Chains A and B, each alone.
Chain A
């Protein structure tokens, strides 16, 4: 290892320290302005970084595909049998649901409810995970130029994934429903009690501020309430696995098993407009693959 004995280092050192001190002062005194200044550069930088990011993400996806198709086939037979049983059970459920849906349609027509528009959605691919270990977030291959903005809800056909927290021109960061910094207004489907679904440090979720008189039980499903944020009503967040009712507490809380395993998600839908708002683009029904 070579070493350069530098005499002119003092000026560089002073300059570096001055720059850092200036930056510290600017960050603490004018955080909004600094962020606003850098936002002008976010879009072009996002487009430049998109090239290597998407290239490596597509190579990664191909390798994962090969692995799943040829190598990771152990236990497929058992899984197949299990899925066949599940299909049989779901067929029975499906016919019951169709009956219920038809009845609901008739009753809705009778009550002359205003018809709600389906939400507009943008399909996006997951190309990475959060750059740090401290947040449970995923990176999507679509950003501001595709119409994605902060606070939009993100789902899969199975359920809620999270919320967009940051965007560049060509990508966006989605904070998962299992992150403790995320909160979504939830509703227990059976009892209709409302609460706030938050992530936990352990990678699960919990429903907080449930009324004490609620008759919730393990196995109840929690869906979005549609009252706040970018989610329409009725999207599945998770299933209650444990109830926490402490003596003297004003509310009870429940642990949730999230419906979507965010670690395995590959494609998602970003909700552009919620129910009832104008829908110029294609509706989410097509993207969700509804029959």
Chain B
């Protein structure tokens, strides 16, 4: 059942991310729903599931992006793993704390991607950070916080935690 849910999530993420979100983008920036989904999976289901779901999302989304596969695997898989690990250590996760966490995670993933770009000088790098990476991180944080609030208010989803 869980496997089926994850499969549907991954299959729906592709059209959502590539076809629908470009219409809803703010200043041509759309949220990275793959990263948000991987982090939420890690938070609710633990680091192993977070990692596996993140890797699957990263791989499938990389088929529909000009970006490199290893970067997509690393950022999405890492997001699931890190969210699962950190989520276990925190007793009370709020929408705001999750939003801030996702903002930092998205910022880190964007910076890794920017550093991987060839032929970027310092001014171009700054332009990319302030025009793409930072706004995207803010949007990711807001979307993640909103989704977490929705899930915690509407559904009684169990969150894994160490004693």
Contact = CB atoms under 8 A, between A and B. Distances in A.
Interface of A: 1-7, 9, 12-13, 15-17, 19-20, 23-24, 27, 31, 34-35, 38, 42, 45-46, 48-49, 52-53, 55-57, 60, 127-135, 137, 139, 165-166, 168, 171, 173, 175, 179-181, 201-202
Interface in B73-124: 73-74, 77-78, 81, 84-85, 88, 110, 113-114, 117-120, 124
A253 to B, nearest CB: 14
A2 B132 CA distance: 36
Interface in B6-40: 11-12, 14-20, 22-23, 28-30, 32, 34
Contacts of B73: 23, 27
A49 B59 CA distance: 12
A9 B88 contact: yes
A132 B161 contact: no
B11 A49 contact: yes
Contacts of B22: 128-129
Question: Which of A5, A46, A173 has the most chain B CB atoms inside 10 A of its CB?
Answer: A173
A57 B158 CA distance: 35
25 contacts: A6-B160, A12-B47, A12-B48, A16-B81, A16-B85, A27-B70, A27-B73, A27-B74, A34-B69, A53-B14, A57-B19, A127-B18, A128-B15, A128-B19, A129-B18, A131-B65, A133-B32, A133-B132, A134-B113, A135-B65, A137-B66, A168-B63, A173-B65, A173-B66, A180-B117
A273 B156 CA distance: 57
B15 A57 contact: yes
B55 interface: yes
Given A19-B48, A132-B65, A179-B66, 10 more contacts: A1-B156, A5-B161, A9-B160, A23-B55, A23-B77, A34-B70, A134-B117, A135-B66, A137-B65, A175-B66
Question: Which of B14, B59, B119 has the most chain A CB atoms inside 10 A of its CB?
Answer: B14
A15 B51 CA distance: 10
B contact residues, range: 35 or more
Contacts of A49: 11, 14, 60, 63-64
Contacts of A27: 70, 73-74
A181 B163 contact: no
Contact of A3 (B63, B77, B161): B161
Contacts of A171: 63-64
B74 A24 contact: yes
Contacts of B12: 52
Nearest to B65: A131
Given A12-B46, A27-B73, A173-B65, A53 B18 contact: yes
Contacts of B60: 45, 49
B157 to A, nearest CB: 7
Nearest to B148: A1
Nearest to A174: B66
B61 interface: yes
B81 A2 contact: no
Nearest to A202: B127
Contact of B158 (A4, A16, A53, A131): A4
A51 to B, nearest CB: 8
A48 B81 CA distance: 27
A88 B50 CA distance: 62
Nearest to B57: A131
A152 to B, nearest CB: 14
A7 B46 CA distance: 12
Contacts of B34: 131
Nearest to B61: A131
Contacts of B157: 1-2
